[in-house]
Structure 1
Amino acid sequence: MSDSSLGHHSMIEKKGVQTTDHNENVDHELYVDTRGPNWWWKYRQMFREPMAEFAGVMILIIFGAGVDCQVVLSDNTGVASGQKGSYLSISFGWAVGTALGVWVSGGISGGHINPAVTLALATYRKFPWKKVPIYIFAQIMGGLVGAALVYANYFHAIDIFEGPGIRTQATASLFSTYALDYMTSVSCFFSEFLATAVLMIMVLASGDKDNMPLPFGLGPLFLFILILGIGASLGMQTAYALNPARDLGPRFFLAMAGYGKDLFTYRSQYWLWCPILGPVLGAQVGAIFYDAFLYNGDDSVFNTPDARSTQRRRDLGTLA
């Protein structure tokens, strides 16, 4: 095989390997295309992972905020003849959005689609810290764009529901999270903290080969069940953000759409300490619990060999 037979656009490396011909055993040289089929391919590799995170969160918000809008806005007879759905519909919509968001991103970026998960994996599972800022930026931008697309889709229904040009918390809550009136600040924080800790424990358990790891490709189905359960069990009081990008990205969009400063002054900067700090700290504690008490894998900082173990392995000749 000649270089020219692979196409003149390719940059070729040759690696010596043995392969089997259909008719006889022969030695071939493996030709590896290191640049790709066209000019765009190499540029795509530079931002493929963060774009997967962007797409995953965008899909999450399209389904999640979309079901919020459909259920709530259809309660107005000017929007629809009858309400299209219930709280159970909302739980299903967010579960579907999570599953499909991970489906589109999981094989490329790991399917974090959540800054709290990204930070926990960097802290305890050796996910590269250098990737954390671009992942989080992409996740938040995915939330912003997803909210913008849903807003554009339901723009006329929102006008009917609130009045032309009127924008209040009544429809802001379709995109970002708000707490029920009876909730105290401590209760709000604890609700998000608890739900995200449970989320993180289950995410880590699903990938633990020494526990009950998921068969390949079933991650989205697992997350569908998990988010459906969290929504049905723990979601009512704070709208279960669980994910800073799920709240902050849409909240940035709402500010651009004219919803005003109440987005950020509600309950003394609720946007910061509840849907951002609550999930981030909850994911950290969930990861600490799982790795400290249940996980035996060597990719956790809790299982880093100490000096005695390292010396013993050297003595036994098992450490290079």
Structure 2
Amino acid sequence: MKEDLVESVELGVTQRKGVHVTRPKVWLKNELVRVGLAESLCTYVMMVFGLGSVAQVVTGEGAYGHYLSINLGFGLGVAIGVHVGGKVGSYERSSVTHHVRAFGRLAWKMLPLYVFAQLLGSFLAAGTIYAVYYEAIHDYCGGNLTVTGVKATAGIFATYPAPYLSLMAGFIDQVFGTAMLLLCLMALSDQKNKPAAAGSEPVAVGLLVLLIGISLGSNSGYAINPTRDIAPRVFTAIAGWGADVFRAGNGWWWWVPLVAPPIGGVLGGGLYKALVEMHHPPLSEQTEELVGEETAPLGKPDNICANVCV
């Protein structure tokens, strides 16, 4: 009924303006389908650019970029992925999805859909990069697909800890990295604080991922996302690297990027909520403050600036 009313209003307006409106012949009205497709695509885009940057650095042996290139690839990939998903679906990271569900910002029925869509997008992206860099990978490793060693290539697709990193330290590393991600995402989206400017959110999120990479990435590759890691890992197991992708990494590393990020996401988001978001003044008080600022005497510009800018 509501949709019919909206359509009739739109039709009436366009008729008065003399504009001819043509409806698309194919239109997906099912919300679950639209969200699933959008989430898969934006995750795919993010992972193609991220994994592609790793493949270029590894197979190029330093000739086509270094560690910073990987950070930029994932950061910019996230930004473009958010643009692609737009308002339909752009969580991209299951750690983010788990967090918004934990704080009641996502319906339970949508959680499996988002996770499945992200897994599908990541898996397809891994397959795409393997196909694009197939000859480069085999030329680099001589056709010997290994998980560890000097010519290891499994790290192009999934994360593995540094040789010095223990399993417990790696777990803490992933919890902390994801906690920082969600804490900062909460701040960027907090409309009562200092949110990212309208339209700049994708760039802000991309810069945040870049920042985490260049500050917290060397220990274990900053997966900070279960679907980013497990789907490409499964692909490598199928594509020729074998079961070693699940055995490598100082004692069966594979489960750490799967379990630690959701925990870190809830901790980081909860910390921001407990220390900042829950203490915002009520909307009525904020309105009074804004009115006070507008009517404040001109002789006190410092106070005005402090109230508005802080």
Shift of 1:37: 3.5
Q: Is the Cα–Cα contact under 8 Å of residues 171 and 260 in structure 2 kept in the other structure?
A: yes
Aligned to 2:145: 167
Secondary structure of the 2:165 match is: coil
For 2:277, the aligned partner's letter is Y
For 1:204, the aligned partner's letter is M
Shift of 1:269: 2.9
> What TM-score, normalized by structure 2, do the two folds share?
0.80
Q: Is 1:85–2:72 an aligned residue pair?
A: no
Aligned to 1:51: 37
Aligned to 2:207: 225
Aligned to 2:307: none
Q: Is 1:105–2:91 an aligned residue pair?
A: no
**After the TM superposition, which of the residue ranges 44-53 and 144-153 deviates more from structure 2?**
44-53
For 2:246, the aligned partner's letter is F
Match of 1:69 among 55, 59, 62: 55
For 2:110, the aligned partner's letter is K
Instruction: Give, in whole Å, the separation in 2 of the partners of 1:254 and 1:43.
Output: 36
1:125-177, CA deviations, whole angstroms, 9 ceiling, x for partnerless residues?
A: 3310110001101101100000110110000011111112x211111101100
1:162-214, CA deviations, whole angstroms, 9 ceiling, x for partnerless residues?
A: 112x2111111011000000011111111111111000011111111111012
Q: Is the Cα–Cα contact under 8 Å of residues 161 and 221 in structure 2 kept in the other structure?
A: yes
Distance 1:158 1:13, change over 3 A: same
Instruction: Give, in whole Å, the separation in 2 of the partners of 1:118 and 1:188.
Output: 22
1:12-31, CA deviations, whole angstroms, 9 ceiling, x for partnerless residues?
A: 83468799979x9xxxxxxx
Instruction: Give, in whole Å, the separation in 2 of the partners of 1:198 and 1:114.
Output: 14
Secondary structure of the 1:173 match is: helix
Shift of 1:264: 1.2
Instruction: Give, in whole Å, the separation in 1 of the partners of 2:223 and 2:10.
Output: 53
Match of 2:28 among 42, 53, 78: 42
Q: Is the Cα–Cα contact under 8 Å of residues 78 and 206 in structure 2 kept in the other structure?
A: yes
Shift of 1:101: 1.1
CA RMSD of aligned residues (A): 2.5
Aligned to 2:131: 152
Secondary structure of the 2:4 match is: strand
The answer for unaligned runs of 5 or more in structure 1 is 1-11, 25-31, 76-81, 299-320
Match of 2:162 among 175, 180, 184: 180
> What TM-score, normalized by structure 1, do the two folds share?
0.78
Secondary structure of the 2:257 match is: coil
- In proportion to residue count, which structure has more helix? 2
Q: Is 1:256–2:238 an aligned residue pair?
A: yes
Q: Is the Cα–Cα contact under 8 Å of residues 167 and 251 in structure 2 kept in the other structure?
A: no
Instruction: Give, in whole Å, the separation in 2 of the partners of 1:114 and 1:297.
Output: 28
Q: Is 1:245–2:227 an aligned residue pair?
A: yes
For 2:112, the aligned partner's letter is P
Q: Give the count of matched residue pairs.
A: 267
Instruction: Give, in whole Å, the separation in 2 of the partners of 1:218 and 1:94.
Output: 17
Instruction: Give, in whole Å, the separation in 1 of the partners of 2:57 and 2:13.
Output: 60
1:218-272, CA deviations, whole angstroms, 9 ceiling, x for partnerless residues?
A: 1111012111111110001100001111111111111120111111122333111
Aligned to 1:60: 46
Aligned to 2:268: 286
Instruction: Give, in whole Å, the separation in 2 of the partners of 1:18 and 1:142.
Output: 36
Match of 2:98 among 102, 105, 119: 119
Instruction: Give, in whole Å, the separation in 2 of the partners of 1:18 and 1:181.
Output: 62
Q: Is the Cα–Cα contact under 8 Å of residues 40 and 120 in structure 2 kept in the other structure?
A: yes
Shift of 1:296: 3.8
- In proportion to residue count, which structure has more strand? 1
